[in-house]
Amino acid sequence: MERWGRTTPIAQRRPRGAALLRDAQGRKQCSVCLTWQELGAYAASPVQADGLQPRCKGCVRFATYHVTPERYAALVEAQGGVCGLCGQRDSSGRDLTVDHDHRCCPVPRSCGRCVRGLLCNRCNVGLGRFQDSPEMLRAAAAYLTFWSAQPPRRVPAEPPKPRGRRWPKFRLTDEEYARTVAAQGGSCAVCRREPGRRSLSVDHDHRCCATTPACGTCVRGLLCTSCNTGLSHFNEDAELIIRTAEYVEAHMIVCT
């Protein structure tokens, strides 16, 4: 079988319990390329008997992105082993994730020609939350920049009852929430889209209150779920989000 530009054995049906087999060096055999590799070459999988994927990471990347182990290693080396956006190693210890242009291949699988680079998990998920859109990314950066320049707002010490379900986490009454929704035209403050069935999420400045409950003075606005989680994946860093928009624009690849 031709694979990764060279001939590899055709995967055969392996005996029951093959996932638990190890050679003399403690290595596991990949179910596709049939090579024996160190356990670190396999991603975790809680549903497998040994807690590891049956396919090695190289086979998974080739099947998903048409990226050979040699090409992946070259990308890692070219980026200095760090994320192509934030310049950091993945804090979870994971390998860098292959990023591709979803305008070319909107499904998880890529043709290989639209691969743009390698990203850490946080930046990759954050980019996906903003739908690979430079316009949405710049809107998110502008939103953060605006609120970073605003003085903290004061909230009444004892608001009228009933306070509502958002009061315990954000010190925001139902009336204040409704007024903010109306002021934003019922849409997200970043992407300007209506949230659909889900209500808009309350966004606050995590530099003031790193966790909830928030004090209430650092509430900035209401966002849809995608924009709210996207900001958190970029650590609310406006400069990083701008670099992400420039990254997307610099790698606009359309398959022909």
SS3 per residue for 97-161: EEEECCCCCCCCCCCCCCEEEEECHHHHHHHHHCCCCHHHHHHHHHHHHHHHCCCCCCCCCCCCC
Residue-averaged pLDDT of the chain: 87
Domain ranges across the chain:
1-63, 134-242
Burial class (CB in 10 A: 0-12, 13-18, 19+), 80: exposed
Rounded percentage of the chain residues whose pLDDT exceeds 70: 88
Tally of CA atoms within 13 A in the half-sphere of 212 that contains its CB: 11
- Residue 14 clears pLDDT 70, i.e. is over it: no
Residue with tokens 């804090």: 91
Predicted confidence band of residue 1 (pLDDT cuts 50, 70, 90): very low
1-63 classified as CATH 2.60.40? no
Bigger pLDDT: 153 vs 243: 243
CATH number of 134-242: 3.40.1800.10
Check residue 29 and give its pLDDT.
93
pLDDT band at 163 (very low <50, low <70, confident <90, very high): low
pLDDT single digits (tens) 79-137: 999 999 999 988 778 899 999 998 888 888 899 999 999 999 999 999 999 999 999 99
Is 134-242 in the same CATH topology as 1-63? Answer: no
Which of the two residues, 174 and 158, has the higher pLDDT score?
174
Q: Is pLDDT larger for residue 241 or for residue 14?
A: 241
Average pLDDT over residues 72-77: 95
Region at 185 (left for phi over 0; alpha for psi -120 to 50; beta for the rest) = left
Q: Where are the alpha helices (H) located in 186-235, listed in sequence order? A: 225-233
pLDDT digits (tens, 9 = 90+) for 197-248: 889 999 999 888 888 888 888 899 999 999 999 999 999 999 999 999 999 9
Q: What is the pLDDT of residues 180-203, one digit of tens each?
A: 999 999 999 999 999 888 899 999
